[in-house]
Amino acid sequence: MAERISDAEHEVMEVLWAEAPLDAHDVAHRLADRQAWTLATVKTLLSRLLAKGAVAHEEAGRKFLYRPAIERTDYVAGEGRRLVDRLFGGKLSPLIAHLAEREALTADDIAEIEALLREIKS
């Protein structure tokens, strides 16, 4: 399980997480504005995701309808953890410190995070 999903594959996943099931054409279409990929490329990515077990497909006549087989939430949490482990010894605060220091969180961002923390505490 948990075969790594590549960047390109991830783009495809985002499309399916936003809407599914979709066939290869639909996926290629939704990707059109972000990526200049041919349909062939999108098909390849879908096959690889299928092989990795990240999407499932169901037959609909002569074509396939694809849908995510993993939760975006899980994927995102996994990637987040990976990064935080790799770069911050597993601690979140240094990540926040870094981003904050270098890109100035807006007051709104800060308020949002504080609210979030307050909620977690309860």
CB 15 to DNA: min, Å: 14
Distance of CA 14 to the CA centre of its chain: 5
CB 17 to DNA: min, Å: 17
| Interface with DNA (CB under 7 A) | 4, 6-9, 23-25, 35-38, 40-41, 43-45, 47-48, 61-64
Site string for a second copy, 54-73 (x = CB under 8 A): -------------------x
Give the one entry of a second copy, DNA, none that residue 40 binds, where binding means its C-beta sits below a cut-off of 5 to 8 angstroms depending on kind: DNA
- 40 counts as binding a second copy under rule CB under 8 A: no
Q: Are the C-beta atoms of 87 and 95 separated by less than 8 Å?
A: yes
Q: Are the C-beta atoms of 58 and 20 separated by less than 8 Å?
A: no
Burial 54-89 (b: 16+ CB within 10 A, else e): bbbbeeeeeebbbebebeeeebeeeeeeeeeeeeee
In the three-class reduction of DSSP (H, G, I as helix; E, B as strand; rest coil), residue 118 is classed as helix
Residues of this chain that bind a second copy (CB under 8 A): 7, 10, 73, 76-77, 79-81, 83-84, 86-88, 91-93, 95-103, 105, 107, 109-110, 112-114, 116-117, 120-121
